[in-house]
Structure 1
Amino acid sequence: MSGADLGTVSGRILTADAVDSHNTFDQPEAVEPADFDGATVEEGMLKLKLPAKSVVVLELAQK
């Protein structure tokens, strides 16, 4: 984000143990969203640690 003065970052992650995991009526919570803490802002730069087999949505806030 060129020109953005980043302040904070928060996010949600969707992941599971296996890449082909899915929810069923018997296991409705096999895959569910959770808070994501693998993103930080350091000296105005966004730093990420993304796990394999995941989808992450981030919300960036300016200072």
Structure 2
Amino acid sequence: VEVSEQLKQHFGNLLFDTVIPRNIRLAEAPSHGLPALAYDAHAKGTQAYLDLADELIARVEK
């Protein structure tokens, strides 16, 4: 069983649906002294973090 499936089985609805992918642009940002959003706002990883923030806000507003 994949790790993500094991996590879903154990934590269920406590997990967020958003998955943050491994992304070279995210890895490069700290070495340039910048947050991912300032370094590359269009990178898949950056967009995933924005999606996670939206998901978190939606859960808090319920």
TM class by shorter-chain length?
Answer: under 0.3
With structure 2 as the length reference, what TM-score do the two structures score?
0.22
Q: Which protein has the bigger helix share?
A: 2
Q: Which protein has the bigger strand share?
A: 1
Query: Considering only CA atoms, is the larger Rg found in Structure 1 or Structure 2?
Result: 1
